[in-house]
Amino acid sequence: MSNLKTSQLDPFVMILFGGAGDLARRKLIPALYGLYRNGLIHERFSVIGLGRSPRETEDYRQIIMESVEKHFRLPVEHRGELEAFSRHFEYISLDVHDREGYHRLKERVEDRERGLGIPENRLFYLAIAPGLFGEVSFHLRDCGLARTHGWKRLVIEKPFGHDYPSAKELNDRIRETFQEDEIYRIDHYLGKEMVQNIQVIRFANTLFENMWNNRYIDHVQITASEVVGVEDRAGYYDGAGALRDMVQNHILQMVMLVAMEPPSRLKPEAIHDEKIKVLRSLRRWKEEEVNRNMVRGQYTGGFQNGKPVLGYREEDGVREGSHNETFVAGRLYIDNFRWSGVPFYIRTGKRMNQKTTEVVIQFKGVPGQLYFNKDNNLDPNLLVIKINPEEGLSLQINAKKPGAENEVVPIAMDFCHDCEESSPEAYESLLRDAVEGDRTYFTHWDEVSLAWKFVDPIRKAWDQQTDSTLCFYEAGTTGPKEADALLARDGYRWHSSGLSTSVVRGNQITEEGKGKS
Ligand SMILES: NC(=O)C1=CN([C@@H]2O[C@H](COP(=O)(O)OP(=O)(O)OC[C@H]3O[C@@H](n4cnc5c(N)ncnc54)[C@H](OP(=O)(O)O)[C@@H]3O)[C@@H](O)[C@H]2O)C=CC1
Ligand SMILES: O=C1O[C@H](COP(=O)(O)O)[C@@H](O)[C@H](O)[C@H]1O
């Protein structure tokens, strides 16, 4: 999020397709409210929510207020403020296939612009099924709504295609109406505070940037584990799987941010250029290499918080005997000067033992070993970037064990990012950026296309294999043992919350990390 003053913000009309859908209710409307109450959007803004369902604007405004009360990250303090916020919204019933309906929509948008003195700044947000993106984009051009005297921007949700050819087809379609710099492809991980902090930690600290290479970094681990299962999204997820759902976008975005070279300027194009170079250097696994470097898993029934939970194949809407993966682990290499020989291990899965998103940088050992821990060894230095649910940093270093002569223990220096003040939700940050026209934290087409080109051969290899390479793991655990073996073969193990062994905080030695990984 840039530091623009609110007086510099533009008035705008937001045309929200899927205006009463799940994403709108749970994320977008509360995010807009967060910006509104903090004065981070222009007071002259208007939102036109769309959907097929018939609905009066007054009823829609009730939905707006309910969704804020239920899903905004803080309790609503001023009812009057919330009511005033809801009056910025109105609703139109429109089926996106109804060509004529777009003319009605155009009239309404122009009416709002005239009424509020808004200079044709239009933010189109597609919170609808991905299959509808291309068609909506076409109609927006066809009816003239996408011709403006101000700015026009298209915010588009994931998934962007299901492989490279489908993503390209969609992109070509959208590009008939919008230029690349008018397209804001959402990856909500890029709106997370600590994901944005990766660049700052790297490029604002001599301490880290000097060591951020294969001479000092041994390997990198990126984890995005979830406790939730497929929930009510089997219709989408059972055809997508964890590789498309998490790796193609969120995980590769984190890889790019960890591995990129410093951009020449803090401008979207300069940053995208560096991120794209990482994907160009990312080694693409050939089909015959996939099984040595990638693991796919699926959860079976188990226990979470002491309660029994179903296996994936028993979940509502999942195809009988589905081979869809709910877990992926992998070993990635970035073949450039900086990262040559440094493995990046990634893993993501549903129904695991804990919700954790984090990046762990494991540094190489000292050249000679003068000091030893109680196991006659020396723990590695770790930098843990905690993204979710905790936000912060932890640096593990070795120090003298209090009172002992030569024994060393790992100590953790912790920084909590959200302890003083709750961080804005990812969508709050991204929506504000879209309104400001800052594309830094949106994905460029080249990133999307190269990410698919990395993922597609893996997908193809898995689709051709039978069940034998699908590894099962019990719900509530850390994933299949084959994911542990992937690291064990290289002499490593997964760090859980970065804490691989006993850790000293102040004078207290805790056993936090033990046995968790
Ligand atoms: N929900 C989430 O947490 C996330 C969602 N996304 C993405 O966001 C998008 C929306 O997802 P989500 O909100 O969950 O989906 P929902 O099904 O909850 O909402 C979709 C909305 O689209 C409207 N809609 C459906 N068909 C049409 C049509 N033909 N014409 C006009 N409106 C239509 C529906 O309203 P009506 O029935 O009244 O027409 C509904 O309100 C998807 O692309 C999804 O992948 C991405 C990340 C997370
Ligand atoms: O995009 C997605 O992300 C969520 C996980 O997001 P997080 O912010 O809670 O880490 C995942 O559950 C979902 O399957 C996927 O589509």
Query: What tens digit of pLDDT does each residue of 124-157 get?
Result: 999 999 999 999 999 999 999 999 999 999 999 9
Do 340 and 200 share a structural domain? yes
419 pLDDT band, cuts 50/70/90, is confident
Ligand positioned closest to the Cα atom of 251: 2
Mean pLDDT to the nearest integer, 238-248? 97
Nearest CA to ligand 2 atom 13: 245
The complex scores an ipTM of 0.98
- Statement: residue 509 has pLDDT above 50: no
Domain containing 229 — which CATH number?
3.30.360.10
Ligand positioned closest to the Cα atom of 190: 2
- SS3 string of 466-508? CHHHEEEEECCECCCHHHHHHHHCCCCCCCCCCCCCCEEECCE
Query: What tens digit of pLDDT does each residue of 196-237 get?
Result: 999 999 999 999 999 999 999 999 999 999 999 999 999 999
445 pLDDT band, cuts 50/70/90, is very high
Q: Going by C-beta distance under 8 Å and a sequence separation of 6 or more, which residues neighbour residue 23?
A: 127, 157
- Statement: residue 68 has pLDDT above 90: yes
Domain of residue 89, residue span: 12-157
- Statement: residue 491 has pLDDT above 50: yes
Query: What tens digit of pLDDT does each residue of 151-193 get?
Result: 999 999 999 999 999 999 999 999 999 999 999 999 999 999 9
8: its two tokens = 């510099």
For residues 260 and 276, give the distance between their C-alpha atoms in angstroms, rounded to a whole number: 8
Q: Is 245 in the pocket of ligand 2 (CB under 6 A)?
A: yes
Is 69 within any annotated ligand binding site? no
Q: Is 425 in the pocket of ligand 2 (CB under 6 A)?
A: no
Is 315 within any annotated ligand binding site? no
- Statement: residue 508 has pLDDT above 60: no
Do 106 and 208 share a structural domain? no
% of the chain surpassing 70 pLDDT: 94
| 399 Cα to the center of ligand 2, angstroms | 38
Is 226 within any annotated ligand binding site? yes
330-344: burial string, b at 16+ Cβ within 10 Å, e else: bbbbbeeebbeebbb
Pocket test for ligand 1, best of 15, 52, 233 (most atoms within 8 A of CB): 52
Q: Is 388 in the pocket of ligand 2 (CB under 6 A)?
A: yes
Do 236 and 140 share a structural domain? no
Least confident among 114-118, 186-190, 342-346, 489-493: 114-118
Q: Is 357 in the pocket of ligand 2 (CB under 6 A)?
A: yes
Asked whether residue 23 is domain-assigned, the answer is yes
Q: Going by C-beta distance under 8 Å and a sequence separation of 6 or more, which residues neighbour residue 380?
A: 218, 362, 363, 364, 365, 396, 500
Is 111 within any annotated ligand binding site? no
Least confident among 93-97, 326-330, 505-509: 505-509
Do 330 and 464 share a structural domain? yes
For residues 19 and 377, give the distance between their C-alpha atoms in angstroms, rounded to a whole number: 58
Torsion of CA 363, 368, 373, 375, to 10 degrees: 100
Q: DSSP code of 272?
A: H
Do 116 and 221 share a structural domain? no
Is 192 within any annotated ligand binding site? yes
Q: DSSP code of 325?
A: -
* 392-400 and 408-416 beta bridge pairing: antiparallel
- Statement: residue 7 has pLDDT above 60: no
Burial class from Cβ neighbours inside 10 Å (0-12, 13-18, 19+) for residue 476 reads buried
Q: Going by C-beta distance under 8 Å and a sequence separation of 6 or more, which residues neighbour residue 139?
A: 96, 99, 102
Asked whether residue 434 is domain-assigned, the answer is no
Mean pLDDT to the nearest integer, 494-511? 52
Asked whether residue 501 is domain-assigned, the answer is no
> Could you tell me how many residues make up the chain?
517
- Per the structure, the count of domains in the chain is 2
Do 139 and 205 share a structural domain? no
Q: What is the average pLDDT value for the chain, to the nearest integer?
A: 93
Asked whether residue 462 is domain-assigned, the answer is yes
Mean pLDDT to the nearest integer, 112-118? 93
For residues 318 and 230, give the distance between their C-alpha atoms in angstroms, rounded to a whole number: 9
Q: Which of 138, 266, 130 is nearest to 186 (CA)?
A: 130
- Statement: residue 514 has pLDDT above 90: no
Do 246 and 128 share a structural domain? no
Domain containing 38 — which CATH number?
3.40.50.720
Q: Relative to the CA of 20, which ligand 1 atom is closest?
A: 41
Q: Which of 29, 125, 22, 38 is nearest to 72 (CA)?
A: 29
497 pLDDT band, cuts 50/70/90, is low
- Statement: residue 505 has pLDDT above 50: no
Phi (first) and psi of residue 41, to 5 degrees:
-130, 155
Contact status, residue 156 vs residue 163, Cβ threshold 8 Å: no
Query: What tens digit of pLDDT does each residue of 347-376 get?
Result: 999 999 999 999 999 999 999 888 999 999
489 pLDDT band, cuts 50/70/90, is very high
Q: Which residue has the tokens 């805790």?
A: 510
State which of 157, 173, 207 marks the end of a domain. Answer: 157
Asked whether residue 429 is domain-assigned, the answer is no
373: its two tokens = 């821990």
| 418 Cα to the center of ligand 2, angstroms | 20
For residues 137 and 63, give the distance between their C-alpha atoms in angstroms, rounded to a whole number: 26
- SS3 string of 171-197? HHHHHCCCCHHHEEECCHHHHCHHHHH
Asked whether residue 35 is domain-assigned, the answer is yes
Do 196 and 60 share a structural domain? no
Asked whether residue 348 is domain-assigned, the answer is yes
Asked whether residue 317 is domain-assigned, the answer is yes
Do 396 and 454 share a structural domain? yes
| More confident: 363 or 510 | 363
Query: What tens digit of pLDDT does each residue of 269-290 get?
Result: 999 999 999 999 999 999 899 9
Do 342 and 254 share a structural domain? yes
Q: Is 52 in the pocket of ligand 1 (CB under 6 A)?
A: yes
Q: Is 157 in the pocket of ligand 1 (CB under 6 A)?
A: yes
Do 220 and 348 share a structural domain? yes
For residues 257 and 173, give the distance between their C-alpha atoms in angstroms, rounded to a whole number: 29
Q: Specify the pLDDT at position 467.
A: 67
Do 463 and 380 share a structural domain? yes
